[in-house]
Structure 1
Amino acid sequence: MAPNGISGQHGEPASQSVKKRVLIVGAGAAGMSAAHHLSQHRDRFDVTLIDAVDYCGGQAFSIPLDKERYGASWCNQGVQGGSYIFHHTFTMFNRQGYQADPVNLHVSFGKDETFWTNVFPTKVLAEHQSEVQRFAKVLKFMRWFEVFFALLPLRLVLKMFFFSEDFINIVALPMTALFLGTGNATPEVPAVMLERLCTSPTYGMWYPANENTVVDNKPPMVVFPNFSEFYSTWKQDLESRGVTVRLSTELDEVVERSKKGVTVRLRARRPAEDSHNPAGADQDIPPQDEFFDELVLCTLADTAKRVLGKTASWRERKVLGSAKFSDDITITHNDSDYMKKHYENFYRDDLAIRDTNGVDQSGRLEEAKTSFRPMYYIKMYDQDRQKLEMCFDTTNYQSQFPEKVPFEQHVFQTIYLNKDRDSELWSDNEIAEDKIIRKDWWHQLCHSYTHYLLVVPWIMFLQARNSVRFGGSWTLVNAHEVAIISGLAAAVDLGADYPEDLENDRFAFLCFRLYYLLGYGKWYRRQYSKGAPTTQLARDGASWPTSTYGGVYQGPGVATQERRCWRQEMKTGRSTDNLAQDNGVKDGPDRSLLERKIAISEPDKSSTEIDVFILVEAADGTKSNSKSTLMLANQAEAKIRDD
């Protein structure tokens, strides 16, 4: 119970005898977070959590893989990693017994003459050297006068400072699109996003900007654990705390709502084989009406508007209807030929430069020759370079894969953006059908500047009106951490307490307070951190924030060793040992590729008599097969490497 007999900080009187019945719609990060924090007060809340699909996690889930072929038995889809500022996410990992793994991000933007990366300088940066130097100065100027530039469209601001079309499309837009996956809405994102990415010491991925090479850091990031297992464990934890979790249950519409409660119409769904129930199906199953005291809609804004139907106010229709979304598709595949055609996957000496504005870069080049491992790619379409295609090399990025895997056995996730507007630019038909592992469609938020003019500032005026609250990452920016905080904020507004350990984590608490102020128009008052930390929970939380302003999380829920997950998965037999002596052959346009496939023709042969098939693909595309013993195969491989 909060001080003075008040349930939470929204001013409603607490009830000692009757539990408040709360329906949470959406079992993604926001809905799970809301249910979790309400479940800490079982004497006050009777919580029901529903989702139309048959799993928890929303856009965060894992898909199965062929372990022997790819080195791992699963990979995360939808949500893969984040930043060290995700304090609420990491503490929730720890509460459920999971950890994220650290990784230093390598990116690969463009192809051939437009290629650049954060790992080593390339020719395209030298060609735009004057703009690169001016870019760093402009970012500082924008930081000084941020209030004037914050919500202006990024492309407009860059044109105001006379940057060329090539620099905007090749350099500025890709480095912004990487942040939160802003996709093909990147030209219209608020300029403050790029500015803060380069000038903020807390969440600035590219901080500090480099006046010679734009960026020269490898952002310290984290990759998430198996999300299907994490959310399954979290679901079991919620059920043990008294939460009723009803999957394959869809909210058809809100029938009636008032200050006294909400009547909703729910429809059962038939679970699909992969748990991803198709939208709009099972209309033959009759719905049922149920009553709840409070409703928390942790759905996308357009879905919230649809289910509110006739009960939606003019204000709700206006604000929720102003959020823009696009339909994107992610194709998970193993087509290395597609990747070589459309992206730069290896160090290329012919594109690298050893000097930028008089600064020697040879050290970075030597390191890149053996360590360049692109994890995130962006391709600018030749027909319209402000339109983008995104891709992950999940083998390089996600930590359950072996450290060394031949490139031909990597798993990739290519993302094609904005079907209605840009599908004619897509090259998805070039991915070999037999190399496709899975296809997933997404309904994604567009981070247009209009979102921060017409949606975000007005959400506070929708909350708690006629017993309905809203949660989800769309309420601010599309990030797992924002979703977690939004669900927590809804729970706090209903009367739950903010966790004691997180209140003593000064960075986490500040992030929550600012979100609560923006989303609900209220400043959350301290309960546990008015003085020096005295309890173990308080001392633990106070030790987590480090670095400038406490932005870097160093506490439970994040490992300190890269690919810790892979080492653990090997012990359980869910990942293999290394599949190569190095991470594939580091090739350029004039280097040969080598793929070794070992086939045991007779079980009783000794290891030196194992038949080995070597496929050598020359620079001109010709291929030849040879058959020899394992010893001869190793000699051939060594010779090709030497050549």
Structure 2
Amino acid sequence: MSQNGNSGKDGRKRVLVVGAGAAGMSTAYHLSNHPDKFDVTVIDSVDYCGGQAFSIPLDKDRHGASWFNQGVQGGSYIFHHTLTMFARQGYHADPVELQVSFGKDDRFWTNVFPTGFLAKHQAEVRRLAFMLRFMRWFEVVFALLPLKLVFKLFFFSDEFTNVVGLPMTALFLGTGNATPEVPAIMLERLCTSPTYGMWYPVDEDSVVSNHPPMVVFPNFTDFYTAWKKDLESRGVTVRLSTELTEIVHRNKRGVLVKTKPRTPAKDGHNPVDGDPDAPESEEHYDELVLCVLADTAKKVLGKTSSWRERKVLGSATFSDDITITHHDADYMKKYYENFYDENKAVRVLGKNGDRDQSSRLEYARDNFRPMYYIRMYDGDLSKLEMSFDTTNYQSQFPDKVPFEQHVFQTIYLNKDRDRKHWTDGEIAEDKIIRADWWHQLCHSWTHYLLVVPWMMFLQARRRTRFAGSWTLVNAHEVAIMSGIAAAVDLGADYPEDLEHDRFAFLSFRLYYLLAYGRWYRRRFQGSGSQKAKDGAGWASGLYGSVYKGPGVPTEERSTWREEVKAGRSTENLADGNNGRSQP
């Protein structure tokens, strides 16, 4: 832990947390567990808490639910810190088994049933399984090689690489059109890790045949609002619509910053560079935690930044993407496979055509409900478009809704480079619910060579720490852990219950070692408290990786049943044929 002096009149460290997203809220929460040691202030330039995670209102009568989550929708059972925080604030995620739909027509494949595309590429499907095993054996050699290079080394066709290999990686990590450049270890671990490998185990006949168990998150606006109120009840000052404009100095005397007030937008999303004439004021703190993107951190550090900070933070690359939320079923039918089609399914696979797939076809006939989609552009198969059927995925929606009334999200990636491929103009304007621009991290191999391993040399230097998912991989769980790590490095304790959740504690220790270069020592070893007993019971499955705590019930769509009682969701909007309007 870095040793920094106190300058507050009451002897407490005055800590400024910049950013009220998952990382900033997590930092403030864990510091607030020690009100005698820390005086915490959280600021954000927008007028809501949650960062990229927020909820949007919907027409309940049309879609069956009055809201849906934008930006962040769900995660994995390995997200122990996230799920525990849901429970602490009185919320829960819901279980879901993921179904995907990749490609269109003769390039279509899915994890639910085998298709003609997989039958056509049986030799490459088997080679992929071998490649992943080989990479597991010699992981240190392949770890940082870009994915596109590894597929070439193993002589995969461009079609198979772009239709199978890249989408499998892009789906879970949100790597988008940077996927060809991501480190190969990402795909390898997704397929070979028995704990966090969402595609584990790989199917040697059809690439993947499992339905990855995932969790879908609660109403994020409600959750973050409750979290904000909890922080304030603990003595944390939360100032929204407050922008950090300049860091004047960071030295032995502390941190001097300039802030200005922002005019709250109606939806809380204050525009960038707004209120240019707002008056600035100076504020003094002992410690600074920057829970903002790397390029934003570099910008606000300004003249106080060191060469090392400029070099590391400047090596993180980003792209500008847009998410269009809509209910244009015709667009989805044109570019994606949404329904089970007997003509695209195959009944046998295998080298000798002896692997019967009839049971999978029978299941898919009535139960194929894709949630995640990826489209490859015909003009360049290495460029992707991603979509979500949020009605199928998010748990506040009724179980049965006609397809024409589903809510979809389509994501167009990398505006500067790939705008020419976009077909956003084909979505009917009268069916667009909302459009949101995102400044997204590119998970290229350079990020894991030039940014991630060097963060430990920036942390706690000149009274400044950095937190956010970009410090490792773009996931809500990483953001939460990064906030805990910043708080711990300032002198807070890691929570007692989570210390006894062996998977959560190991995950945190490894993150803290990577981000700060230090191994966190136990504080509650041998504790027989109720907190310790509770936490020990949350870790189940292999190595304790499967969360089994109050943050996740066992029944799917339990949120829908709760929302119906609260009048915020409707009963089923359709009957028969699973209510999906399948042809």
TM-score range, shorter chain: over 0.9
Work out the CA distance in 1 between the residues paired with 2:194 and 2:476: 20
What does the per-residue CA deviation read over 1:547-583, in whole Å, with 9 as the maximum and x for residues that have no partner? 1111100011111110000000000110000000144
For 2:463, the equivalent position in structure 1 comes to: 467
In the TM superposition, residue 180 of structure 1 has moved relative to its aligned partner by 1.8
For 2:516, the equivalent position in structure 1 comes to: 520
Q: Is this contact kept in 2: 1:49–1:246, CA < 8 A?
A: yes
For 1:541, the equivalent position in structure 2 comes to: 535
Distance verdict in 2 for CA 1:289–1:13, change over 3 Å: closer
Aligned Cα RMSD in Å? 1.1
Work out the CA distance in 2 between the residues paired with 1:507 and 1:259: 38
For 1:570, the equivalent position in structure 2 comes to: 564
Q: Which runs of 5+ in 2 are unaligned?
A: none
Work out the CA distance in 1 between the residues paired with 2:252 and 2:80: 34
Q: Which runs of 5+ in 1 are unaligned?
A: 1-8, 592-643
In the TM superposition, residue 137 of structure 1 has moved relative to its aligned partner by 1.1
For 2:197, the equivalent position in structure 1 comes to: 204
Alignment of 1:450-529 (within 5 A): 450-529=446-525
The answer to whether 1:112 aligns with 2:108 is: no
The answer to whether 1:387 aligns with 2:383 is: yes
Q: Which secondary structure state, in structure 2, belongs to the residue aligned with residue 103 of structure 1?
A: strand
Work out the CA distance in 1 between the residues paired with 2:172 and 2:308: 30
For 2:418, the equivalent position in structure 1 comes to: 422
Picking from 130, 138, 147, the partner of 2:140 is 147
Work out the CA distance in 1 between the residues paired with 2:508 and 2:75: 18
The answer to whether 1:556 aligns with 2:535 is: no
In the TM superposition, residue 125 of structure 1 has moved relative to its aligned partner by 0.5
Work out the CA distance in 1 between the residues paired with 2:580 and 2:405: 12
For 1:29, the equivalent position in structure 2 comes to: 22
For 1:337, the equivalent position in structure 2 comes to: 330
Q: Is this contact kept in 2: 1:15–1:44, CA < 8 A?
A: no
For 1:230, the equivalent position in structure 2 comes to: 223
Picking from 415, 433, 438, the partner of 1:437 is 433
Q: Is this contact kept in 2: 1:260–1:467, CA < 8 A?
A: no
In the TM superposition, residue 527 of structure 1 has moved relative to its aligned partner by 1.0
**Paired letter, 1:565:** T
Q: Which secondary structure state, in structure 2, belongs to the residue aligned with residue 178 of structure 1?
A: helix
In the TM superposition, residue 259 of structure 1 has moved relative to its aligned partner by 3.3
Alignment of 1:298-317 (within 5 A): 298-317=291-310
For 1:366, the equivalent position in structure 2 comes to: 362
For 1:610, the equivalent position in structure 2 comes to: none
Q: Is this contact kept in 2: 1:53–1:275, CA < 8 A?
A: yes
**Paired letter, 1:560:** T
Work out the CA distance in 2 between the residues paired with 1:170 and 1:392: 18
Instruction: State the structure with bigger RCO (CA 8 A, min sep 6), 1 or 2.
Output: 2
In the TM superposition, residue 585 of structure 1 has moved relative to its aligned partner by 4.8
What does the per-residue CA deviation read over 1:342-383, in whole Å, with 9 as the maximum and x for residues that have no partner? 000000110000000111001100110100000000000000
Picking from 375, 400, 413, the partner of 2:371 is 375
Q: Is this contact kept in 1: 2:6–2:12, CA < 8 A?
A: no
For 2:344, the equivalent position in structure 1 comes to: 351
Work out the CA distance in 2 between the residues paired with 1:151 and 1:298: 26
In the TM superposition, residue 333 of structure 1 has moved relative to its aligned partner by 0.1
Runs of 4 or more consecutive aligned structure 1 residues displaced over 4 Å after TM superposition: 11-17
What does the per-residue CA deviation read over 1:287-310, in whole Å, with 9 as the maximum and x for residues that have no partner? 111111000000000000000000
Tell me which structure has the larger Cα radius of gyration.
Answer: 1
Q: Is this contact kept in 1: 2:144–2:184, CA < 8 A?
A: yes
**Paired letter, 2:48:** Y
Q: Which secondary structure state, in structure 2, belongs to the residue aligned with residue 40 of structure 1?
A: coil
In the TM superposition, residue 584 of structure 1 has moved relative to its aligned partner by 3.7
**Paired letter, 2:529:** T
What does the per-residue CA deviation read over 1:504-544, in whole Å, with 9 as the maximum and x for residues that have no partner? 00100001000100000000011113x3x411110111111
Q: Is this contact kept in 2: 1:93–1:557, CA < 8 A?
A: yes
For 2:399, the equivalent position in structure 1 comes to: 403
Work out the CA distance in 2 between the residues paired with 1:12 and 1:282: 35
The answer to whether 1:447 aligns with 2:440 is: no
Q: Is this contact kept in 1: 2:2–2:460, CA < 8 A?
A: no
What does the per-residue CA deviation read over 1:257-303, in whole Å, with 9 as the maximum and x for residues that have no partner? 11331110101000000000000010111111111100000000000
Work out the CA distance in 1 between the residues paired with 2:294 and 2:512: 18
**Paired letter, 1:396:** N
Alignment of 1:316-331 (within 5 A): 316-331=309-324
Work out the CA distance in 2 between the residues paired with 1:104 and 1:337: 26
**Paired letter, 1:394:** T
**Paired letter, 1:479:** A
Q: Is this contact kept in 1: 2:98–2:214, CA < 8 A?
A: yes
Q: Is this contact kept in 1: 2:249–2:304, CA < 8 A?
A: yes
Q: Which secondary structure state, in structure 2, belongs to the residue aligned with residue 102 of structure 1?
A: strand
Work out the CA distance in 2 between the residues paired with 1:585 and 1:252: 50
In the TM superposition, residue 586 of structure 1 has moved relative to its aligned partner by 5.2
For 1:257, the equivalent position in structure 2 comes to: 250
Picking from 49, 59, 66, the partner of 1:73 is 66
Q: Is this contact kept in 1: 2:403–2:581, CA < 8 A?
A: no
Work out the CA distance in 1 between the residues paired with 2:127 and 2:13: 58
Q: Is this contact kept in 2: 1:347–1:586, CA < 8 A?
A: no
What does the per-residue CA deviation read over 1:416-460, in whole Å, with 9 as the maximum and x for residues that have no partner? 000000011000000000000000000000000000000000000
In the TM superposition, residue 15 of structure 1 has moved relative to its aligned partner by 9.3
For 1:595, the equivalent position in structure 2 comes to: none
Distance verdict in 2 for CA 1:292–1:11, change over 3 Å: closer
Q: Which moved more, 1:553-562 or 1:16-25?
A: 16-25
Q: Is this contact kept in 1: 2:401–2:580, CA < 8 A?
A: no
What does the per-residue CA deviation read over 1:444-478, in whole Å, with 9 as the maximum and x for residues that have no partner? 00000000000000000001111110000000000
Work out the CA distance in 1 between the residues paired with 2:13 and 2:127: 58
Q: Is this contact kept in 1: 2:5–2:286, CA < 8 A?
A: no
Q: Which secondary structure state, in structure 2, belongs to the residue aligned with residue 491 of structure 1?
A: helix
Q: Which secondary structure state, in structure 1, belongs to the residue aligned with residue 263 of structure 2?
A: coil
What does the per-residue CA deviation read over 1:585-637, in whole Å, with 9 as the maximum and x for residues that have no partner? 554xxx4xxxxxxxxxxxxxxxxxxxxxxxxxxxxxxxxxxxxxxxxxxxxxx
**Paired letter, 2:151:** L
**Paired letter, 1:552:** V
Distance verdict in 2 for CA 1:132–1:586, change over 3 Å: farther
In the TM superposition, residue 325 of structure 1 has moved relative to its aligned partner by 0.3
In the TM superposition, residue 179 of structure 1 has moved relative to its aligned partner by 1.5
**TM-score normalised to structure 1 length:** 0.89
What does the per-residue CA deviation read over 1:228-257, in whole Å, with 9 as the maximum and x for residues that have no partner? 000000000000000000000000111111
Q: Is this contact kept in 2: 1:105–1:221, CA < 8 A?
A: yes
Q: Which secondary structure state, in structure 1, belongs to the residue aligned with residue 288 of structure 2?
A: strand
